[in-house]
Amino acid sequence: MPRYAVCFFAFFFFLWPCLQLHGMEESSSEDIYQKASVHYYALEPNVHLSKAFLDQATKMYYDCYDPDLHKDYTLEAMGINASCFQTYEEFLNDLIQTDFHSYNTKTCFVIYATEGDARPDFSNLVGLCVTLPEKEKGHYYIDHIGVKKGYQGNGIGRDIISILEKTLPDLQMISLDTRVFIMPGQKLYAKSGFKRIEPHPVPMKQGKYIFYQKTF
């Protein structure tokens, strides 16, 4: 057998499976859109999210938050138990870690963006959206959406929402809510065609969160 054939055989059967373990399976995501240097991917529902992806997703999502947004709000005003959390950052970190590491136990639709081709360790992750199906067919809830600092204001959030709308099956409605002080998010949702709904459908969230919906 020629030497180059032996090398190819060794790579394909021994090294390639090991390389795939660093991220999701090759068939689980599709590079469906590129704008300038940013690549957008859609994961298949129920695909197992790798530890590398979850670690980078939680880090990026936490780091994209601006603490100045809540500087005029107390924990009590935000409905956060001060006996459990001393700061909003502590609460937010716990929330993100809990939510993101629960996604492997749920059906979810993940759209993410990277600077250039996605790396095996996802260290170039710059945008992310996780959407959950609701009980009624065709109704979905955006659980988390965020864009990395330094990339905000460049249309990545709008692109992610646009891709999401084109990939969700039997889409009829998307809902989400956001803290009253997350002004950048509120501007994004308005530009993306979401309508603010008052009052909040969950009474305990009224005055603390703003609820949005978009119908199709």
CA-nearest of 44, 38, 49, 46 to 158 is 38
Instruction: Report the pLDDT value the prediction gives residue 30, as an integer from 0 to 100.
Output: 74
Q: Is 125 a residue whose pLDDT tops 70?
A: yes
Task: Given CATH 3.40.50.300, say whether it is the number of domain 3-215.
Answer: no
Instruction: Report the pLDDT value the prediction gives residue 5, as an integer from 0 to 100.
Output: 44
**Cα–Cα dist 176/182, whole Å:** 13
Instruction: Report the pLDDT value the prediction gives residue 31, as an integer from 0 to 100.
Output: 67
| Adjacent-strand bridge partners of 196 | 212
CA-nearest of 21, 23, 20, 42 to 31 is 42
Cα-Cα-Cα-Cα dihedral of 94, 98, 171, 183, to 10°?
0
**Mean pLDDT within 31-39:** 90
Residue pLDDT, tens place only, 131-145: 999 999 999 999 999
- Work out the pLDDT band at 113, boundaries 50, 70, 90: very high
Phi and psi for 142 in degrees, rounded to 5? -75, 110
**Mean pLDDT within 1-13:** 42
Residue pLDDT, tens place only, 55-90: 999 999 999 999 999 999 999 999 999 999 999 999
**Mean pLDDT within 38-63:** 94
**Mean pLDDT within 37-62:** 94
**Cα–Cα dist 53/22, whole Å:** 9
Q: Is 51 a residue whose pLDDT tops 50?
A: yes
Q: Is 14 a residue whose pLDDT tops 50?
A: no
Instruction: Report the pLDDT value the prediction gives residue 4, as an integer from 0 to 100.
Output: 42
Q: Is 1 a residue whose pLDDT tops 60?
A: no
Q: Report the percentage of the chain scoring pLDDT > 90.
A: 84
How much is the pTM? 0.85
**Cα–Cα dist 182/198, whole Å:** 17
- Work out the pLDDT band at 13, boundaries 50, 70, 90: very low
- Calculate the average pLDDT of the chain: 88
